[in-house]
Structure 1
Amino acid sequence: MSWLLLGMVVAVLTSAQDILNKQMIGRTHLLAVTWGWWFFSMPLLYGGLLFSTPSKITSGFWVVLFFSTVLITIGVLCYVKALESDLSISIPMLNFTPLLLLLTSPLITKETPRLMGIVGVMLIVAGAYVMFIRSSHTGLLGPMKALVQSNGPRYMLVVAVVFSISGNLDKIGVMHSSPLLWPVFLNTTLSAVLSVILLFYVPSWKEEIFRHYPKLIIIGTINGAALWVQMVAIQWTQVPYLIAVKRTSVLISALYGFLILKEGGLKERLPGILMMITGVFLIAFT
């Protein structure tokens, strides 16, 4: 059960990061924001190394790091392209990641979820989907129709597929190093690659970063903390379970909007919320 508590911590941190990300959309270049996720997470992660015991890197680590860096870079670029379209039809695609993990995890990590766990994952995915379509009023098949009509959802579906592979590589990377050493190396390589891309594709990158650096630092630090906790939890459970629990961040964001920002719409999201909570309980008792 300790992994479940850590998974909920990851969900809370992810929700906080999502809320701050939404405040940045339209104000700065999305590539600068995603670069900030990785670059400004490094002070926390490298600081953690000062207080951790030395860990060994075993055979296979560098190969996994290479493929994970390539995949996540592709995912980040597709994510940026997807957010250039209507958010209401693109974001739901990302919620399919845990569902895809049910297919990729048995192939990559040789983990086979139990029936109750599979039902739990499916309920969380369905709940997140229902919450989003009810709040955005796109209709039950709105995001699916958008796959045919718009590029944004297609890009986000690619992101979901990429993350369903890289999520498994995270577990392998942790097994070949440690829960701290893996995100340290991964964030370092991603920051280096994204820095080069930012330099060439965003001419105003200096202005974009310096104008919003306080918020970028906060977002990056939250991302670093979420990654660290996630890599600790990933040792003790199957990847689809952890990522499904992580996706309850949309539930936390909805509650934040209702309780703190006094937003409406909680009643229409209630079926999705109940589905997600039921899914978490099923996974917890698997």
Structure 2
Amino acid sequence: MTWLIFAFLNALFESLKDVFSKKGLRYCDEYLVSWALWFFADLVLLPSLFFMPIPELNARFWWALAIGGTLNSICAVLYIKAIKLSDLSITLPIVTFTPIFLFITSPLIVGEFPSAIDFVGVMAIVTGAYFLNLKQRSLGYLAPFRALMAEKGPRLMLVVAFLWSIAANFDKVGLENSSPLFWVISLFSFISVALFPLVVYKSRNFTGKLRRGWRSLALMGLAFAIAVSCQMQAVSMTLVVQAIAIKRTSVLMGVLWGALFFKEKGITERFLGASIMILGVVVMSLF
């Protein structure tokens, strides 16, 4: 059961990455934080290239890197902007909508089709999203959904979940035409380079902001690099779906960190809602 330890460490460091991201936003804008996440994580992972064989790369790899890297670059900015605008406890659970969007994107891109049990998971995810704003129920049956979408953070995270559902398919193409660690390093490097001009253009005095917030940003990148490394260890020891199902518990941890570090309110219903959403992901992953 060593894989289970790595899978939980993956979830833990994934959630800590979000905490350090939120803290970094106290000193830096979302563009600098978005770039720093991938840049510092890439610095940690790049030395691995000296200890691994470089795979033969074909056109499918480069196309996957170009498309997947571009989509992930857009998601990088939107993700950080979402957690800047709204509480962690209400924005992070929205990423569990990605499997729902995969129902549409996977058949079109890689020819994979969902099973009947997947629809049970979808219903659990939607039910969990309803519970995230259950306190609005007195205003009408659809009030929790309206309240959720009234917040800019969850709306942006929903866009991220959709774009990730597309990017995940290109991740698979990239992995199949290289190797897991090489793909991750290539993707991180692409995003770091792609976002840098945006940081220079949009982030005023970004060098000064970087000096003030570099500790949180470096810890954010380190946590992200450790999370990815643990995920790859877990995936190498068990089924991918099992490792990813455990990884999604980072959402629950993020809700708890929101209450502990940022004094966010309404944690009870948000934790319940996030738990139901995670259950939906587990059903879709393991059955």
TM bucket by the smaller chain? 0.7 to 0.9
Aligned residue in 2 for 1:73: 73
Looking at structure 1, the residues matched to 257 and 160 of structure 2 have their Cα atoms a distance apart, in angstroms, of 26
User: 8 Å contact 2:21–2:220 — kept in the other structure?
Assistant: yes
Q: Kindly report which structure 2 residues correspond to 1:141-156, keeping only aligned pairs within 5 A, or say none.
A: 141-144=143-146, 147=149, 153-156=154-157
One-letter code of the match for 1:34? S
User: 8 Å contact 1:3–1:237 — kept in the other structure?
Assistant: no
Looking at structure 2, the residues matched to 92 and 266 of structure 1 have their Cα atoms a distance apart, in angstroms, of 12
Unaligned 5+ residue runs, structure 2? none
C-alpha displacement of 1:233 = 5.9
One-letter code of the match for 1:173? G
Aligned residue in 1 for 2:179: 178
Unaligned 5+ residue runs, structure 1? none
User: 8 Å contact 1:179–1:228 — kept in the other structure?
Assistant: no
Would you say 1:197 and 2:198 are equivalent positions? yes
- Bigger fraction of residues in helix: 2
- TM-score where L is the length of structure 1: 0.78
What's the % identity of the aligned pairs? 34
One-letter code of the match for 1:27? Y
Instruction: Say if 1:89 and 1:285 are closer, same or farther in 2 by CA, change over 3 A.
Output: closer
- TM-score where L is the length of structure 2: 0.78
**1:5-64 per-position Cα deviation (integer Å, ceiling 9, x unaligned):** 655443222111112222233332121111111000112211222333443323410011
One-letter code of the match for 1:56? E
C-alpha displacement of 1:263 = 8.7
User: 8 Å contact 1:98–1:244 — kept in the other structure?
Assistant: no
Would you say 1:14 and 2:14 are equivalent positions? yes
User: 8 Å contact 1:14–1:249 — kept in the other structure?
Assistant: yes
C-alpha displacement of 1:197 = 0.8
One-letter code of the match for 1:246? K
Instruction: Say if 1:117 and 1:211 are closer, same or farther in 2 by CA, change over 3 A.
Output: same
Looking at structure 2, the residues matched to 264 and 84 of structure 1 have their Cα atoms a distance apart, in angstroms, of 16
Looking at structure 2, the residues matched to 150 and 9 of structure 1 have their Cα atoms a distance apart, in angstroms, of 31
Q: Kindly report which structure 2 residues correspond to 1:105-144, keeping only aligned pairs within 5 A, or say none.
A: 105-120=106-121, 122-124=123-125, 126-127=127-128, 129-130=129-130, 132-133=132-133, 137=135, 141-144=143-146
RMSD over aligned CA atoms reads 3.7
User: 8 Å contact 1:64–1:173 — kept in the other structure?
Assistant: yes
- Number of positions where the alignment pairs a residue of Structure 1 with one of Structure 2: 281
User: 8 Å contact 1:117–1:282 — kept in the other structure?
Assistant: yes
Instruction: Say if 1:151 and 1:224 are closer, same or farther in 2 by CA, change over 3 A.
Output: same
C-alpha displacement of 1:161 = 1.4
Aligned residue in 2 for 1:219: 220
Instruction: Say if 1:111 and 1:15 are closer, same or farther in 2 by CA, change over 3 A.
Output: same
User: 8 Å contact 2:251–2:274 — kept in the other structure?
Assistant: no
**1:71-122 per-position Cα deviation (integer Å, ceiling 9, x unaligned):** 1222233335545644477655444222212322232232334333443465
**1:167-200 per-position Cα deviation (integer Å, ceiling 9, x unaligned):** 2211211111111101111111111111111011
Would you say 1:98 and 2:99 are equivalent positions? yes
**1:125-157 per-position Cα deviation (integer Å, ceiling 9, x unaligned):** 643x256435xx55563453564x566554333
